[in-house]
Structure 1
Amino acid sequence: MDLTGRSGHEAVPAMREAIESQMLVVTGEPVDVDQLVQRAGDAWALWHSSPSPRAAVGAVLPRIISDGRRSTRLLEGDQRRRAHAALSSAYALSEQLLAWVADGQLLWLTADRCMASAEQADDPLALALAAWVVGNVWRVTGREDDALRLATDAADLLTPRLDSGQEARALWGAVRLHAAITSAKMGREGDALRYLDDAAEMAAAMPDYAHAATLFGIPNATLTGVSVHVELRKGSKAVDVADAVDPDSIPSQDRRARVWLEVARAYSQRKDNTVAVHVLQRAVNTSQEAMMCHPLARSLASELVTSGGRIVERDARALASAIGVSV
């Protein structure tokens, strides 16, 4: 398996068919909008609860997308806008599933469809979630300036609506975290920490809440600080942040695995390779599928084999093999 390329997954062909198929003629009855909204929400819950989220969600998401596309063609008025919001949410989840396993063209198409449906829904919440999705894609494809601008624009869109409910506040916090990570990747430490503080303040105001899609809440906001400091190449600070919170408090197997990956990266930056191997193993135990698909996990496993020293080489080699990397 290539260390930096996309790994592929059995769920991709059905996802591609649902997203790329052309619907020139649409007949029959639309799916009930309430059911469509519920199915999209259930798919997000399945994504967060499963240790193999791509396989689990890949079994149900293509049908949700196909039904959503049909319904947005057959419905009118407010019902059509609600269907578009549900479809945009399904596309947002598709981006999570396809990241690192599908070709760039399909990922870009999915992100574009997500934003297009949010625009048709004319719903600030749907637009903010779509901005979170598109910004993620831009950040990892070298368009950090555009990603940061989109995140701040989404926060500005939601600012007048923060009194409308917890979902608006959570999405505001989520795009603030997105801005923090993006700024850190750009080396803009002051901006990164300022956005991180903004998100932490918002999370503290809603202590028992976790957004259904982005998981924004106190644990996620705190642990995103680990990612920010790792991107800033401050491994010791990242470890200190990680020590202050329990990753198991995040209600998502995939997100917990990625947090353990970030902590492993932090220890690797400190040249504490023995602990890095142990922590990366925790990530694999949490979601082997997630680590098999993530290039940073594959890259770190390879580095620990080749550069971690003889004391960890055997364990690191077994770990690399477990996630499909031959070193």
Structure 2
Amino acid sequence: MPEVIPFGQRLRRLRERRGMTRPLLGGLVGRSAEWVKAVETGRVGVPRLPLLLRLADVLSVDDLAELTGEERLSAASYTKAVHDGLPAVAAALAAYRFDHADEAPETVTALRLRLTDAWQAWHATGRHRTKVAAVLPDLLADVQHAVRSTEGKPRRQAQAMLAEVYHLAQLFLSFQPAAELVMLTGDRAMGAAQDADSPRAIAGAAWYMNHVFRDAGERHEARVELAMRAAELLEPDRDPDALARWGLLQLAVALSYAKIGRGGDAERFWDRADDAANRLGAGYAHPYLVFGRGMVDAYAITIRADLAQGRDAVAAAEAIDVAAMPSATRRAFHAIESARAYRMQREPLAVVHLLKRAYEESPETAQYNRFTRAAVAELAANGPALVRAEAETLRRRVGVPAAG
């Protein structure tokens, strides 16, 4: 018979693996450090489903069996949605197409136009995952063909574009039950960027690989080292693109430190990103990475929330306006992060309002966001009477099962 591991021990292992202290975990789920200790030592039993979902969100757990040991109780339906385009994208990543090996590849210019269109679709209002899933398999195959069929500078340019295509694939796959494919695309993107011998492509790949490791709640030291090494390859004073990528990597390190509760280090690296944004000017935003003044200000909400500083997170949310940010997906994401801050302050009306705004801005951003899915299930089941009806409507729209 397999070993039966109590819930408290499972919780402690997951918390320690994520590098979290008891006060940090308790603060992130609205409980005290003493409550966390009581659960881990068995003095308090397994929480009810809404709090389990909150723990799963904070600990980046996709299957509640990791927490409870009960295979019948899965978090996947609550924390992750599955897009209809997932099988086709997964098949494209596994395929090695040689059927047009004798054909001349598209020019780098033509491929760049298609890739730019795909990025614009990702950042546009509406169902961005659906739009990208429709073009991603063919775009991936054609850029791979260009890499195989060219030499010299065109090949390096195609390799850099291939890294970007893998970034798009990684974004599409995120928050779906395809963790191994997310890791695969991140690794392939970094390989393509290195083959392109492009410090800028490597910097972009490092930003997205940081998302992979950070969302998994693991490898803090590795992701900080990766970001710093990639930043060292750049010449931030060369032009706005280089400075934006350098600033983005400082932001990656700040987010990584915030995840493990090291507020001083998080603030130090956020200050570096802040300086880069100031040097770029208020109106600048990177064409597809979207780094700029708006992103840096908005990520201050995430950093404060990850540090369990609810009041400061709300203050950061109230101080910014992301309306000018040229990305509907980003605007929706930061609205969701603002909702996370307000939930820490126990303001459910603001939480529902912000999640509703996020859904209206970018339905698929809300639908595939782990916090949104857990929060609407919890509020629809156990929220104050004033918000339950709206939360129930949102729960149905994003396709989350009732928490009961």
**What's 2:93 paired with?**
19
1:285 Cα deviation after fit: 1.1
1:120 Cα deviation after fit: 0.8
Q: Do the aligned partners of 1:50 and 1:56 also contact (CA within 8 Å) in 2?
A: no
1:24 Cα deviation after fit: 5.7
**What's 1:279 paired with?**
354
Query: Between Structure 1 and Structure 2, which shows a larger proportion of helix residues?
Result: 1
Distance 1:102 1:114 in 2: 20
**What's 1:35 paired with?**
110
Tell me the alpha carbon deviations over residues 228-277 of structure 1, each in whole angstroms, 9 at most, x when there is no partner: 11111112111111222212121111111111101111111000111111
Out of 21-30 and 127-136, give the one that drifted further.
Answer: 21-30
1:121 Cα deviation after fit: 0.3
**What's 1:232 paired with?**
307
Tell me the alpha carbon deviations over residues 136-173 of structure 1, each in whole angstroms, 9 at most, x when there is no partner: 10111132332222122222222xx1122111100111
Q: Do the aligned partners of 2:381 and 2:388 also contact (CA within 8 Å) in 1?
A: yes
Out of 97-106 and 260-269, give the one that drifted further.
Answer: 97-106
* Secondary structure of the structure 2 residue equivalent to 1:264: helix
What is the one-letter code of the residue matched to 1:212?
P
1:294 Cα deviation after fit: 1.2
* 2:318 is aligned with 1:318: no
1:88 Cα deviation after fit: 0.7
* Secondary structure of the structure 2 residue equivalent to 1:30: coil
TM-score (structure 1 length as normaliser) = 0.95
* Secondary structure of the structure 1 residue equivalent to 2:303: helix
1:102 Cα deviation after fit: 4.6
* Secondary structure of the structure 2 residue equivalent to 1:3: helix
* 1:80 counterpart (155, 160, 166): 155
* 2:198 is aligned with 1:123: yes
What is the one-letter code of the residue matched to 2:229?
D
Q: Do the aligned partners of 1:170 and 1:216 also contact (CA within 8 Å) in 2?
A: yes
* Secondary structure of the structure 2 residue equivalent to 1:187: coil
**What's 1:219 paired with?**
294
* 2:277 is aligned with 1:203: yes
Q: Which one has the largest radius of gyration?
A: 2
1:210 Cα deviation after fit: 0.7
* 2:119 counterpart (28, 36, 44): 44
Distance 1:187 1:88 in 2: 31
* 2:238 is aligned with 1:169: no
Tell me the alpha carbon deviations over residues 67-121 of structure 1, each in whole angstroms, 9 at most, x when there is no partner: 0101100101111001000111111111111101251121111111111110110
What is the one-letter code of the residue matched to 2:121?
L
Out of 115-124 and 208-217, give the one that drifted further.
Answer: 208-217
Q: Do the aligned partners of 2:77 and 2:401 also contact (CA within 8 Å) in 1?
A: no
Tell me the alpha carbon deviations over residues 276-325 of structure 1, each in whole angstroms, 9 at most, x when there is no partner: 11111111111111111111110111222234323322222222111111
Out of 205-214 and 119-128, give the one that drifted further.
Answer: 205-214
1:13 Cα deviation after fit: 2.1
1:2 Cα deviation after fit: 1.4
Distance 1:65 1:155 in 2: 27
Distance 2:372 2:123 in 1: 19
Distance 2:299 2:335 in 1: 11
Q: Do the aligned partners of 1:88 and 1:115 also contact (CA within 8 Å) in 2?
A: yes
Any gaps of 5 or more consecutive residues in structure 2?
A: 1-75
* 2:233 is aligned with 1:157: yes
Tell me the alpha carbon deviations over residues 5-42 of structure 1, each in whole angstroms, 9 at most, x when there is no partner: x3110222221222210246732111101111222122
* 2:188 is aligned with 1:108: no
* Secondary structure of the structure 1 residue equivalent to 2:212: helix
Any gaps of 5 or more consecutive residues in structure 1?
A: none
What is the one-letter code of the residue matched to 2:249?
V
**What's 1:245 paired with?**
320
* 2:272 is aligned with 1:189: no
Distance 2:181 2:359 in 1: 27
* 1:147 counterpart (207, 223, 234): 223
Aligned length: 324
Q: Do the aligned partners of 2:190 and 2:206 also contact (CA within 8 Å) in 1?
A: yes
Q: Do the aligned partners of 1:12 and 1:102 also contact (CA within 8 Å) in 2?
A: no
Identity of aligned residues (%): 35
Tell me the alpha carbon deviations over residues 39-80 of structure 1, each in whole angstroms, 9 at most, x when there is no partner: 212211221113211011111222111101011001011110
